């Protein structure tokens, strides 16, 4: 991509998220899913990975994701409508060891069924804490996505917590980790909701899918 094309690509991302964005609904079962009438991008990651913060940063809204994840809503799939052009799906965080087993089973099943069977799902943004790298629970999700041929892209969160050289090492290690995974997008995006690093790139990646 030349410089002008890159600027245009970023600008398309900026414009998409400069428009109206609203919380649509939270669902606790697949029967309640909204009609698959818009392209959908899902955000997934381990609990505490920084998912709510990143959804808010991408949307440029302070409390969009948090507002929908009040107690009782955190185990739901939450949907946001972005200018009637696309839907963001905020999936329940996984790998939270303290949750009761029955609850874990319920939300794992819901998420897995959603990921495998959603015709409008264009891509999963798979969040990895840059301090921790890829964990076993993340590999399980990647396996589901590879098997279902659902495209996914790794986005590193909390990159501000690492020194630039450390961050480079994590990016390189993660690239090696996904090289042989068939449904993984080869490009890894390092982000920080605190500093705004990579948010423009992530917006552009999403806009390019609509
Ligand atoms: P979620 O459970 O995945 O939705 O995670 P949250 O967005 O609630 O964030 C979990 C914790 O990480 C909170 O204490 C956030 O303040 C912190 N956090 C999230 N994103 C960042 C980031 O980009 N940089 C830093 N330094 N902290 C972050």
Strand partners, 78: 26, 90
pLDDT above 60: residue 69: no
- Check pocket membership of 161 for ligand 1, CB cut-off 6 A: yes
How far is Cα 59 from Cα 63, in angstroms, rounded to an integer?
10
Give the model's pLDDT for residue 75.
67
pLDDT above 70: residue 208: yes
Which residue, 52, 57, 121, 123, is CA-closest to 93?
52
Give the model's pLDDT for residue 92.
87
- Check pocket membership of 123 for ligand 1, CB cut-off 6 A: no
Least-confidence region, from 41-45, 111-115, 189-193: 111-115
How far is Cα 154 from Cα 188, in angstroms, rounded to an integer?
5
DSSP 56: H
Distance 54 CA to ligand 1 centre (A): 8
Give the model's pLDDT for residue 105.
76
Which residue, 134, 135, 195, is CA-closest to 162?
195
Confidence of residue 22 (pLDDT cuts 50, 70, 90): very high
What are the angstrom distances between the C-alpha of 92 and each of 19, 65, 98, 197?
26, 12, 14, 24
pLDDT above 60: residue 68: no
Q: Which of 42, 47, 52, 53 has the most ligand 1 atoms within 8 A of CB, as the residue to mutate? A: 53
Give the model's pLDDT for residue 97.
65
Distance 92 CA to ligand 1 centre (A): 15
How far is Cα 92 from Cα 114, in angstroms, rounded to an integer?
11
Give 140-174 pLDDT, tens digit per residue. Answer: 899 999 999 999 999 999 999 999 999 999 999 99
Averaged pLDDT score across all residues of the chain: 91
How far is Cα 24 from Cα 3, in angstroms, rounded to an integer?
36
Give 88-123 pLDDT, tens digit per residue. Answer: 999 988 876 666 777 677 777 888 899 989 999 999
**Structural domains for the chain:** 3-207 (3.40.50.300)
Pair of tokens at residue 12 = 């398309």
Distance 121 CA to ligand 1 centre (A): 25
- Check pocket membership of 185 for ligand 1, CB cut-off 6 A: no
Give the model's pLDDT for residue 200.
98
Q: Is the pTM of this model over 0.85?
A: yes
How far is Cα 116 from Cα 145, in angstroms, rounded to an integer?
7
Give the model's pLDDT for residue 6.
97
- Check pocket membership of 153 for ligand 1, CB cut-off 6 A: no
Give the residue-averaged pLDDT of 111-136: 94
Distance 118 CA to ligand 1 centre (A): 28
Distance 194 CA to ligand 1 centre (A): 9
């Amino acid at each position: 991509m030349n410089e002008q094309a890159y600027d245009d690509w970023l600008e398309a991302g900026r414009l998409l998220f400069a428009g109206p964005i609203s919380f649509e609904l939270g669902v606790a079962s697949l029967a309640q899913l909204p009609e698959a009438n818009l392209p959908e991008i899902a955000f997934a990651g381990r609990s505490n990975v920084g998912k709510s913060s990143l959804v808010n940063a991408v949307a440029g809204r302070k409390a969009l994701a948090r507002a929908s994840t009040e107690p009782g809503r955190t185990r739901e799939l939450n949907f946001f409508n972005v200018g009637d052009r696309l839907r963001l799906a905020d999936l329940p965080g996984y790998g939270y060891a303290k949750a009761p087993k029955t609850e874990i089973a319920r939300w794992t099943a819901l998420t897995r069924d959603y990921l495998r069977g959603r015709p409008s799902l264009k891509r999963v943004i798979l969040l990895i804490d840059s301090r921790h790298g890829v964990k076993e629970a993340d590999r399980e999700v990647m396996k589901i996505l590879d098997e279902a041929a659902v495209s996914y892209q790794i986005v590193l969160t909390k990159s501000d917590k690492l020194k630039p050289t450390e961050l480079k090492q994590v990016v390189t290690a993660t690239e090696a980790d996904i090289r042989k995974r068939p449904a993984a997008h080869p490009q890894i995006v390092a982000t920080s909701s605190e500093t705004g690093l990579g948010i423009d790139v992530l917006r552009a990646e999403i806009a390019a899918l609509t």
